[in-house]
Every structure is written in C-alpha cells, then in structure tokens.
Amino acid sequence: MTDEPRYRTFQEFWPYYMSEHANPATRAVHLLGTGAAAACLIALAVTGDLRLLPAALVVGYGPAWLSHLLIEKNRPATFRYPVMSLFGDLRMFALACSGRLSGEVERLQRGER
C-alpha cells in the first residue's frame, strides 16, 4: 500500500499527473506517443483495419511507460488511475498543440491550482 492519495476528480489529479511528468523529455515522449496513437486511430477510422487498434495502444503506451522507467524513474500513473491518466495525456497533448503546455508547467511549478 502507498501513502499516495486517491484522487476523486480530474482537477485534483492534474497537478499530480504533471508532477509525474516533470522531465521535459518524458513529456516529449508522451506527446509523440499520443500523436502516433491518434494517427493509428484516424487510420483505423479511414481504413477499418482493426489491426490498428492494438497498434495504437502499443505506440501510445509503450514509449510512455518506458519514459517513466528510464527518464522519470517512477511508476506510470496509468496503473493506478487509468481513466484520469488517459485524460491527462489528452490534456497535455492539447496544451502542447495549442502552445500552452510550457505556461501550464510553469503555473503548476509555482504551486497554483
């Protein structure tokens, strides 16, 4: 058992999620994986090729989990918070695509909620 709190809302979870992705290299790997997974899902929708579904999971989660092991040296939040972690990945991806990720990182580093 761990002393880690159980998060009831995504708003509570988000600062924790970002703290588990403190290293910019980890965030970069996650963003590449999320983009590759999205590309697989779009290709699945276009082609109907169901092999792209497991491919999306592998390219999305595989590199992300390795980045936690090799870069952050922590356990992926996916294992305890699978749904909130997915939403965290998507939010981080959206923030990066809109050019607002660095501002969000800075805001959270200042301890703002």
Three-point CA angle 72, 63, 46, nearest 5°: 145
For residue 4, what pLDDT is reported? 66
Residue 18 lies in a domain: no
- Which residues of the chain have a pLDDT value below 70? 1-4
Looking at the structure of the chain, the number of domains it has is 1
Residue 81 lies in a domain: yes
For residue 113, what pLDDT is reported? 75
Residue 2 lies in a domain: no
Residue ranges making up the domain that contains 56: 24-102
Residue 7 lies in a domain: no
**What is the spatial distance between Cα 93 and Cα 35, in angstroms, rounded to a whole number?**
8
6: left (phi over 0), alpha (psi -120 to 50) or beta: beta
Asked if 59 and 40 count as a contact pair (C-beta separation under 8 A), the reply is yes
Q: Which two tokens stand for residue 54?
A: 């497991």
Residue 1 lies in a domain: no
Q: What is the pTM of this model?
A: 0.89
For residue 70, what pLDDT is reported? 97
For residue 2, what pLDDT is reported? 56
